[in-house]
Amino acid sequence: MKYPLIALGLISYISAQGQPAPSKTAPMDAQNPFLQAYKTPHETAPFDKIKNEHYLPALKVGIDAGKKEVEKIIENPAQPTFDNTVVALERSGELVGKVTSVLFNLTSSQTSPELQKIAREASPILTAYSNDITLNDKLFGRIKKVYDQRANLKLDTESRTLLEKTYRRFARNGANLNATDKDKLRKIDIELSELSLGFGENVLNETNEYELLVTDQNDLAGLPDYAKEAALAAAKQKGKTGWLFTLQAPSYLPFIQHADNRELRQRIWTASNQKGFKGDKNDNKAIVGKIVALRYERAVLLGYKTHADFVLQESMAGSAERVTKFLDELVTYAKPVAVAEMAELTAYAKKQGFAGDRLQPWDSAYYSEKLKKEKYALDDEQLKPYFKLENVLDGIFTVANKMYGLSFKENKDIPVYNSEVKAYEVFDEKGKFVAVFYGDYFPRASKRGGAWMNDVQAQKTVDGVNIRPHIVNVCNFTRPTDTKPSLLTFDEVTTLFHEFGHALHGMLADGQYESLTGTAVFRDFVELPSQVMENWCYEPEALQLFAKHYQTGEVIPADLIKKIRESQNFQSGLFNLRQLRLGLLDMVWHNNAPLGVGIADIEKGLDARVNLFPTVSGTAISPAFSHIFAGGYSAGYYSYKWSEVLDADAFEYFKEKGIFNREVAASFRANVLSKGSSQSPDELYKKFRGREPSPKAMLRRSGLMQ
């Protein structure tokens, strides 16, 4: 069920679990696509017919229908059973999921002021609907009766998991509170949902509103041709003369890495790190404070010490104490390596003419890129010609075929929400339909930054029919220009593989209950399928499948592959320390009572320990930290490092047997990709690997331990 996530302001960064199968009880309305059966291939969302005026009326119909379904469960005169209570609740609210899956996909990838207004109107309505369910005494009473009989019920593992998770969901979200406290919880949840949406809108506005227009060609010194060409096209598109740079990653990153003009690097870096922190209409300082305070108040109301304790009860880590210990231990490995790398980088910069005592943050990427090129004779200019987007997509589809027997066929009859989006049908080796896959790869003003996976329809099995998923990958990659196709940096290649790993998790789901399938897993387990896929980007056997020069068709030379592999751990200490800094910052916000000090002071205190660069006044991470304040990662950002332990250990198994070994791939599919959260992730991993994961694989791969 998707809507309980919205109640907590946790519109998922990775997977919005929708329920778009047509409701049998929904009235038909020829004017509203949501209120009629989808007459599209595989009943995909008719994006071409859905208009803004359709959302709220359909949502009202869906909520009314959902309330009647819940009332029917409550008023059932029969004794509560797993089927008439737990399964009936799981199957309820289909139309609500159908509408919200489209709405919240588009507010991330194809938004507008009108759609943002609709989301703001819908959010409190959905929150109230969710709370009406989880705070209903009679409904919880029926669930509890079934739960108390669980030892005597002959349930399969997945059904037992559904029962336990349903009971915990109610208990953890206020079912045991008194009436007064339930009212408090309702108000908190509504305010959190609105604040989360506002935070995300402000970050998007900040990103879209900033422009750095360069009119003197001398200020472009150092920039690669692809960056200059893209900037020229961006300026032309907006009717301006010169070269236009923005805070979108494909524009920002090449500038901060290559531009010789230090003053302009400082200017664009500062703009990027001032998002939500300037005291203007897009300011997020107050929103951060309110979100943190309300999350803490909510956790205490529910009987938890902190928001982190509430969140981490449902995780592999299990507790805030264990997460903190985990991050602290990794700091002891990463920091000495990072300090040595920083000394090397500073010495190199001084040889290049840097006159200061300490490098500033806007110097880091610039000198790092030069040092990397000098050490490994490698840079993006050499690699990009081998990574044409279409070739990389063909390659990733080939990898999926070699591992899992999947094939991808574009179907232009499937409606899409933007002309740049491509829709594919996915089939197995026997030609059986597996999923719909949408690919959306270029930045635009209507799309937030970053990369993510969503589903428009999640997998489930109803009345013996396996309803297959519709999965979306959204990225912000380098656009084609007038003279070149979209040529990806190597970082963009790994991002594509990462998000496709999430997509596989969704596409290969094979369970009974939607709330347990696909990416509906613990946050510190969800990154395993995505992060493990990145490993194939470094393997010659995989690279040779798709890394072909866009002009000559030449396969990437062996010496370039060797350089990619040799440079894999370049500045690994600094990279790991940056990630740990974010994870620790998340825990500072959520593993304490509100600290009563400003954002700058909180971040400065943490930076004294894990940031090797000077703190820059007027900049901060938190006001644009969308993962934890507008996504689903509050008290969960550590999960990237946690999952890295799993993915490194898992990939060592693939390496032992062969990276395209079908037996290992079949085991990974059977025990991880297809199972969702139908069983404990610890047990699922052990079934795949034959043992518990070892953190040593990650430390070895990262160069943090010999």
The residues annotated with a catalytic role in the active site are: 499
| Contact residues for 562 (Cβ-Cβ < 8 A; gap 6+) | none
The C-alpha R_g of the chain, in whole angstroms, comes to 25
User: Torsion over CA of 268, 271, 272 and 274, rounded to 10 degrees?
Assistant: 150
Pairwise CA distance, residues 605 & 589, whole Å: 12
> How many Cβ atoms from other residues are within 10 Å of residue 309's Cβ?
19
Please give the biggest Cα pair distance in the chain. Answer: 82
Read off the tokens for 594. Answer: 């509100």
The closest alpha carbon to 468, from 511, 498, 423, 521, belongs to 511
Task: Decide: residue 412, CB within 10 A, 0-12 exposed, 13-18 middle, 19+ buried.
Answer: exposed
Length of the chain: 706
Pairwise CA distance, residues 573 & 661, whole Å: 32
Q: Are strands 243-245 and 465-467 parallel, antiparallel or unpaired?
A: unpaired
CB of 633 closer than 8 Å to CB of 639: yes
Helix then strand then coil, in percent of the chain rounded to 5, is 60, 5, 35
The closest alpha carbon to 421, from 116, 42, 109, belongs to 109
Q: Are strands 470-474 and 433-440 parallel, antiparallel or unpaired?
A: parallel
CB of 199 closer than 8 Å to CB of 284: yes
The SS3 call for residue 412 is coil
Residue whose structure tokens are 């008719």:
46
CB of 587 closer than 8 Å to CB of 324: yes
Pairwise CA distance, residues 471 & 475, whole Å: 14
Dihedral over Cα of 273, 354, 255, 376: its sign: negative
The closest alpha carbon to 38, from 93, 109, 95, belongs to 95
Instruction: Look up residue 482 and give its amino acid.
Output: D
CB of 108 closer than 8 Å to CB of 447: yes
Pairwise CA distance, residues 425 & 431, whole Å: 11
Task: Decide: residue 540, CB within 10 A, 0-12 exposed, 13-18 middle, 19+ buried.
Answer: middle
What is the 3 state secondary structure string of 10-23?
A: CCCCCCCCCCCCCC
Q: Are strands 212-214 and 243-245 parallel, antiparallel or unpaired?
A: antiparallel
Pairwise CA distance, residues 191 & 179, whole Å: 19
Q: Are strands 452-457 and 433-440 parallel, antiparallel or unpaired?
A: unpaired
The closest alpha carbon to 204, from 447, 516, 478, belongs to 447
